Structure 1
Amino acid sequence: MKLNVSKFVWFDGKLVTLERAKVPITTHAIHYGTSIFEGIRGYWNGKNLNIFRLDDHVKRFRRSGQFYSISLNYTDEQISNAMKSLCKKNKMRQSCYIRPFYFVGQYGINLHVTEDAPVHAAMFMFPFGDLFNKNGISAGISSWRKFSDQSTPPLAKMGGNYLNSILATQECKRNGYDEAIMLDLHGNISEAPGENIFMVKNNVLTTPPLSSSALDGITRDSVVRLAEDLNYTVKEEEITRGQIYTADEVFLTGTAAEIIPITQVDKKRIGTGKAGKITKEITSSYLDIVMDRNHNHADWITPVY
């Protein structure tokens, strides 16, 4: 995916042009994956650019680094203000994606990373529309298992963690699917390479628990709350592979993906083979909020201008 990255980026506390944001080849994160990132959506509604759940993203941003004793040397307020300033500097007046990250700099080949390791922070942005076909996608269950807490914390959004997702994505693309579904260590449904997953059966929504190596997704949490607003029952419990095949609806959630129906798993049709009624209802509620047409969750959006 070619990115039309904005002219200005934020690097170590300053707004600079993209060409000036350079790091040396001896950067620790390049060699060992010691980087932390977030993906955040900004929605342009014709009047203002609204950043979705900014405070929650910034809190998780810091928390991810704490798993590895990697320090984010800016306050939450400074990071939030930097994102808003970046949008303004680039005069962004269309829906966009913001990528903040921080990483260990020149630290030799030392694996003993501590809070005192040199850390850089940066962020860039680009206009962004749909990642997947909103009418529905196909998915294949990957032979690559999602890593577990027994090896690496799945709750941390670390750069190195996503090598696992790359393998699953490569496999599903080779097999002709749009996206992969990964199983956990015990063979239950975990999540997709970059999204959480929900199953609908008899008007009840179920999503895998965090113990199934699922990320504590912010869009996942939003969907749970929106479904409850619509008076649907939501359960967080283990889902078997067989249950996915016989679901009435299946959909993915994530910042980049938003809410995407899965209409086919392993070439087996899910429900009617089209986006289901509940998936559509939740998607509609989500869009009303991010576009500032529904004020029930007004605290979820932060205006830029």
Structure 2
Amino acid sequence: MSDQYAYLRGEFVSLDNATINIRTHGFLYGTAVFEGIKAYWLPETGQMSVFRMVEHYKRLIQSCRILRLRSPIDAETMGNLTIELIRRNQCQGPTYIRPIVYKADLRIGPILTVENTKDDFCLFTVPMDGYLDTSKGLKVGVSSWRRLDDNAIPARAKVNGAYVNTALAKTDGYLSGFDDVVVLTNEGHVAEGSAMNLFLVRDNQLITSSITENILEGITRDTIIQLAQQELGLSIVSRPIDRTELYVADEAFFVGTATELAPITSFDNRPVGDGKVGTISTKLRDLYSKAIHGLLPQYSHWLTKV
């Protein structure tokens, strides 16, 4: 990886040298926020493109506000650095982009606001095709771990430390033989997947948890809603979802930047519909793939070309 670069402490450096001090506050306490962004190769123009980059950096700044972080650069500059890093790393295929704003102080003590505190921005890329093998659909279980509450560690912000919640749920799911899990709120409603938003299909309607159900306000979630409404004419219902609704859904799927669209074929060892990837899931997965690869001209505003 010596020919790869990252952005750290205000400059592009070799990825091998992109390291932080073990006393860094963000490492000690998880006091950092991040985004997961993807870039793709556009076959018709022969260039890379970042999908919905502007929206991702807008959300990163919002996460900073929630965690009392002060980014040293604005969203536009973050975008420019992202484009430059893709050029330097000569990316020519699916690429995962991880920007982070973190508490860079070298100090003990969890308080976020102290005199002369220092926050910083860093950025790296990783080649990434499929996050999950979704070709046959996912076997999903309902986790015994509950999603963090907005009044504890808000899921609305992508806080690094909060992903211990994801790690516990996902790991226990794997050990129980599931591909991934659904997590519930403390009230017992369906929140989302371990790190993805969730959609159900019932009677040709898309149903998804409300943004007040301790979920991330997903950019891929918004993308799928727009594609479903504008391209397939489907109606969208956003509301609290009971656990048993999972068991009677006609179709179901996860969505997220890394996951893209992942059909679900069973919940808690109960088949979803006929136990196969559904028609609507397939159509939306195909539409999403075309959108991210620049094959739907009406959505070209979602692409930032390199």
TM bucket normalised to smaller = over 0.9
For residue 214 of structure 1, what is the amino acid of its counterpart?
I
Q: Distance in 2 between matches of 1:141 and 1:126?
A: 30
Q: Distance in 2 between matches of 1:184 and 1:163?
A: 16
Preserved contact between residue 4 and residue 88 of structure 2 (Cα < 8 Å) = no
Q: Distance in 2 between matches of 1:261 and 1:182?
A: 17
Runs of at least 5 residues in structure 1 that lack an aligned partner in the other structure: none
Preserved contact between residue 107 and residue 118 of structure 1 (Cα < 8 Å) = no
Q: Distance in 1 between matches of 2:156 and 2:68?
A: 14
Go from structure 1 to structure 2 and tell me whether the alpha carbon gap of 1:166 and 1:7 turns closer, same or farther (over 3 Å shift): same
Cα distance, 1:9 vs structure 2: 0.7
- Which residue does 1:126 correspond to in 2? 126
Q: Distance in 2 between matches of 1:204 and 1:57?
A: 27
- Which residue does 1:223 correspond to in 2? 224
Preserved contact between residue 102 and residue 119 of structure 1 (Cα < 8 Å) = yes
Go from structure 1 to structure 2 and tell me whether the alpha carbon gap of 1:233 and 1:138 turns closer, same or farther (over 3 Å shift): same
- Which residue does 1:94 correspond to in 2? 93
Structure 2 length-normalised TM: 0.95
Q: Distance in 1 between matches of 2:40 and 2:279?
A: 24
Cα distance, 1:6 vs structure 2: 6.8
Q: Distance in 1 between matches of 2:229 and 2:10?
A: 40
Within 5 Å, give how 1:13-28 maps onto structure 2. Answer: 13-28=10-25
Q: Report the secondary structure of 1:166's partner residue.
A: helix
Go from structure 1 to structure 2 and tell me whether the alpha carbon gap of 1:187 and 1:133 turns closer, same or farther (over 3 Å shift): same
- Which residue does 2:157 correspond to in 1? 156
Deviations, residues 145-177 of structure 1 (Å, cap 9, x unaligned): 001112121101010111111110111011000
Cα distance, 1:16 vs structure 2: 1.0
For residue 243 of structure 2, what is the amino acid of its counterpart?
R
Q: Report the secondary structure of 1:212's partner residue.
A: coil
Within 5 Å, give how 1:1-305 maps onto structure 2. Answer: 7-46=4-43, 47-114=46-113, 116-135=116-135, 136-229=137-230, 230-304=232-306
Percent of residue pairs bearing the same amino acid type: 31
Q: Distance in 2 between matches of 1:45 and 1:111?
A: 44
Cα distance, 1:189 vs structure 2: 0.6
For residue 131 of structure 2, what is the amino acid of its counterpart?
L
Q: Distance in 1 between matches of 2:155 and 2:293?
A: 31
Preserved contact between residue 6 and residue 125 of structure 1 (Cα < 8 Å) = no
For residue 288 of structure 2, what is the amino acid of its counterpart?
Y
For residue 209 of structure 2, what is the amino acid of its counterpart?
P
Deviations, residues 166-207 of structure 1 (Å, cap 9, x unaligned): 110111011000001100111111011110000000000000
Go from structure 1 to structure 2 and tell me whether the alpha carbon gap of 1:179 and 1:36 turns closer, same or farther (over 3 Å shift): same
Cα distance, 1:111 vs structure 2: 2.5
For residue 17 of structure 1, what is the amino acid of its counterpart?
S
Q: Report the secondary structure of 1:83's partner residue.
A: helix
Runs of at least 5 residues in structure 2 that lack an aligned partner in the other structure: none
Deviations, residues 36-74 of structure 1 (Å, cap 9, x unaligned): 110101011231111000000000011101111111110
Preserved contact between residue 208 and residue 237 of structure 2 (Cα < 8 Å) = yes
Q: Distance in 1 between matches of 2:191 and 2:299?
A: 28
Q: Report the secondary structure of 2:146's partner residue.
A: coil
Cα distance, 1:134 vs structure 2: 2.3
Q: Distance in 2 between matches of 1:176 and 1:30?
A: 31
Preserved contact between residue 6 and residue 15 of structure 2 (Cα < 8 Å) = yes
For residue 238 of structure 1, what is the amino acid of its counterpart?
P
Cα distance, 1:249 vs structure 2: 0.3
Cα distance, 1:133 vs structure 2: 1.7
Q: Report the secondary structure of 1:59's partner residue.
A: helix
Q: Distance in 1 between matches of 2:134 and 2:65?
A: 35
Cα distance, 1:5 vs structure 2: 9.1
Cα distance, 1:267 vs structure 2: 0.5
